[in-house]
């Protein structure tokens, strides 16, 4: 086999070999000529540029009114992933599309006297027929439906207190858990177990509203769980503030009544003033008739509590009812500053609109 030629033999046979040996000064004059030829060639091959249609010089600018098609709203894969109802913001409050059941009374509690709120679970006593325990739960009857805010620490005490007051756990439509602490969620399992038979038999099935990210163990017993990540209307006239604060977030109830807003807190970990301000922000034109529940000022000084009372008054809070984790200082200073508009809360206490005149 003949050996392949090396690079020098290939170069010797290439017709352009003389150009490579030409000194650079001889190549320089040819560069402008080559560049000119290249530009001429590109100009000849260039496609014609489209002429844009001139816009009208007078008259209003008309924007397209075409609306992109809405994405189909797929049904939730499971009850546990149900989508919350309408949300609200400080600038716009959207009413819930969930209809209240037909009743023979007024269509809304704001038109009558059919709102009542009963403290079911509290570490402060009121009705001697009820047991006390560390925690909080409140039973709200409103517009023909029943809402339970929190469930206390002990399901046995919760159900026993219900029985003492003649309240049926199967009547509960909605449970709202304010935050993930055992003294507010401990009675949930027993409550849902008591309701499960009615639900399975075609009766009421409880819906549980929890702040987003909440370990929703209610799903293990088949309840519908709604994770709340923004303020929303749970039932007509009954609102959640949505998660308030950072870290340990908390939601509170806001209820519309003929006397004004009723704000019910579980523990107010983010700060009771912050929660009231949040509620007021959604209803800037409404008066706040009552703020009640746990204020989480157990360890606050007298000066700090008096500052909170001053904030309440500046926000127009007409009645105050601290309980649960509010502490003895609060239960002494609030009545001193609020007088007859202080309400002493405890297990078994019932509040109606008539009380808020």
- Among the residue ranges 76-85, 116-125, 286-295, 326-335, the one predicted with the least confidence is 76-85
User: 79 pLDDT exceeds 80?
Assistant: no
Kindly report the length of the chain.
Answer: 357
Higher local confidence (pLDDT), 281 or 84: 281
The mean predicted confidence, pLDDT, of the chain is: 78
3-state helix, strand, coil in the chain (%, to 5): 35, 20, 45
Q: What is the pLDDT of residue 47?
A: 44
The CA-atom distances, in angstroms, between 10 and each of 3, 14, 15, 16, 352 are: 13, 6, 10, 11, 107
User: 42 pLDDT exceeds 90?
Assistant: no
352 in Cβ contact with 322 (< 8 Å): no
**Cα(189)–Cα(221) distance, integer angstroms:** 8
307 in Cβ contact with 278 (< 8 Å): no
Using alpha carbons only, give the angle 250, 87, 191 rounded to the nearest 5 degrees. Answer: 50
Instruction: Write out pLDDT tens, residues 86-125.
Output: 444 443 344 443 433 333 333 345 444 489 999 999 999 9
User: 20 pLDDT exceeds 50?
Assistant: no
Q: What is the pLDDT of residue 4?
A: 43
Question: Which numeric CATH code is attached to 113-356?
Answer: 3.60.15.10
Phi then psi dihedrals of residue 173, to 5 deg:
-95, -40
Strand order, beta sheet including 224-228: 224-228, 207-211, 174-176, 145-149, 136-142, 116-122, 350-352
Q: What is the DSSP letter of 168?
A: -
Q: What is the pLDDT of residue 91?
A: 37
Instruction: Write out pLDDT tens, residues 231-284.
Output: 999 999 999 999 999 989 999 999 999 999 999 999 999 999 999 999 999 999
Higher local confidence (pLDDT), 163 or 42: 163
Q: Where are the domains of the chain?
A: 113-356
Instruction: Write out pLDDT tens, residues 144-192.
Output: 999 999 999 999 999 999 999 999 999 999 999 999 999 999 999 999 9
Angle between helices 188-200 and 155-165 (to 10 degrees): 60
Q: What is the pLDDT of residue 189?
A: 93
Alpha helix segments (H runs only) across the chain: 7-13, 17-21, 24-27, 30-45, 155-165, 182-185, 188-200, 272-282, 302-314, 327-338
Q: What is the pLDDT of residue 67?
A: 33
Q: Residue 179: left if φ>0, alpha if ψ -120 to 50, beta else—which one?
A: beta
Instruction: Write out pLDDT tens, residues 200-236.
Output: 888 888 999 999 988 767 777 768 999 999 999 999 9
Q: What is the pLDDT of residue 197?
A: 83
Read off the tokens for 252: 């509170």
Q: What is the pLDDT of residue 11?
A: 34
Using a 10 angstrom Cβ sphere, with 0-12 exposed, 13-18 middle and 19 or more buried, the burial of residue 126 is middle
Residue 39 banded pLDDT, cuts 50, 70, 90: low
Residue 37 banded pLDDT, cuts 50, 70, 90: low
**Cα(82)–Cα(207) distance, integer angstroms:** 10
Helix (H) / strand (E) element for 350: namely: strand 350-352
152 in Cβ contact with 256 (< 8 Å): no
């Amino acid at each position: 086999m003949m050996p392949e030629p090396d690079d020098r033999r290939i170069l010797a046979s290439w017709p352009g070999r003389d150009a490579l040996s030409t000194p650079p000064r001889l190549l320089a004059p040819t560069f402008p000529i080559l560049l000119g030829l290249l530009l001429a060639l590109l100009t000849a091959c260039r496609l014609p540029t489209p002429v844009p249609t001139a816009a009208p010089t007078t008259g209003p600018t008309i924007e397209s009114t075409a609306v992109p098609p809405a994405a189909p709203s797929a049904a939730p894969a499971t009850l546990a992933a149900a989508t919350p109802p309408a949300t609200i913001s400080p600038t716009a409050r959207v009413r819930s599309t969930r209809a209240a059941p037909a009743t023979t009374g007024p269509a809304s509690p704001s038109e009558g006297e059919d709102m009542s709120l009963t403290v079911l679970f509290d570490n402060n006593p009121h009705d001697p027929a009820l047991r006390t325990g560390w925690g909080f739960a409140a039973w709200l009857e409103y517009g023909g439906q029943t809402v339970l805010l929190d469930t206390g620490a002990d399901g046995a005490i919760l159900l026993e207190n219900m029985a003492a007051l003649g309240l049926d756990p199967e009547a509960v439509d909605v449970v709202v858990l304010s935050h993930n602490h055992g003294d507010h969620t401990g009675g949930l399992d027993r409550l849902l177990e008591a309701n499960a038979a009615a639900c399975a038999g075609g009766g009421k099935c409880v819906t549980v509203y929890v702040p987003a990210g909440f370990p929703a163990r209610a799903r293990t017993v088949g309840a519908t769980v709604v994770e709340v990540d923004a303020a929303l209307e749970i039932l007509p006239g009954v609102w959640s503030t949505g998660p308030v604060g950072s870290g340990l977030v908390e939601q509170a109830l806001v209820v519309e009544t003929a006397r004004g807003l009723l704000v019910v807190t579980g523990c107010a970990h983010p700060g009771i003033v912050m929660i009231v301000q949040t509620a007021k922000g959604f209803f800037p034109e409404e008066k706040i008739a009552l703020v009640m529940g746990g204020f989480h000022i157990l360890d606050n000084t007298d000066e700090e509590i008096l500052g909170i009372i001053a904030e309440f008054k500046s926000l127009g809070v007409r009645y105050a009812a601290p309980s649960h984790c509010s502490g003895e200082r609060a239960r002494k200073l609030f009545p001193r500053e609020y007088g007859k508009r202080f309400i002493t809360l405890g297990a078994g206490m019932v509040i109606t609109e008539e009380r808020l005149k």
